[in-house]
Amino acid sequence: MLRGKTVLVGITGGIAAYKAAILVSKLRDAGAQVVVVMTHNATQFITPLTLQTLSGHSVYVDMFPPTTGEVAEHISLGQKADVLVIAPATANIIGKVAAGIADDMLSTTIMAAQGQVIFAPAMHAQMYQNPIVQEKIARLKELGYHFVGPVEGKLARREVGMGRLAEIEDIVDKVVQVIGGEK
């Protein structure tokens, strides 16, 4: 269902980052070419090597990696992707994008995106319910960004609340839906 499509998976620094490995695998199983961009904080939760192995492509973390010589990879990645899915999307990346801040590889790639962008928020319930975060989510929706989740469930500290990453299957379904032109 995603054959011939390029999906860029952006991973931010939250405990749900480990689930990105499953997301990458499921997207590849659906036929997508998957490229991963991670924030530095995300590398504290899951390694680039794991995601490189699962995606079959280099994983991008640094804005200006010394080995490639490419100085505008964030532009080319954003232009090549049919859809970008940020999972997990922390309050930090949601706030950055809503404010137009592009100061790392992931946020600059989102700003350069030609395709649709989907956020799959995951954070502590109190952070998710924060009026500033809710305002930024509403702003991004007004601008045409898509969201899937979060859902209510067990959070990192064994608390239960709204802020758990949406089920991987629901995120994949949203990618298929957005690529197909549905809302």
Report the sign of the C-alpha dihedral through residues 176, 177, 181, 183, in that order.
Answer: negative
Q: Which residues contact 108 (CB under 8 A, 6 or more apart)?
A: 63, 74, 78, 102
- Render pLDDT for 84-143 as a digit per residue (tens, 0 to 9): 999 999 999 999 999 999 999 999 999 989 889 999 999 999 999 999 999 999 999 999
Sorted by where each starts, the structural domains of the chain and their CATH numbers stand as: 6-149+171-179 (3.40.50.1950)
111/95 Cα distance (integer angstroms): 13
Give residue 72's pLDDT.
56
Nearest one of 54, 27, 51 to 39, comparing CA atoms: 51
Amino acid letter for position 58: S
The SS3 of residue 147 is strand
Report which of 167, 85, 156 is spatially closest to residue 127, judged by C-alpha positions. Answer: 156
The pLDDT assigned to 152 comes to 87
Residues 154-179: pLDDT tens digits?
887 788 878 999 999 999 999 999 99
- Spell 40-49 as b/e; 16+ CB within 10 A means b: ebbbebbebe
**pLDDT tens digit sequence for 43-71:** 999 999 999 999 999 899 988 765 555 55
Query: Which pTM does this prediction carry?
Result: 0.92
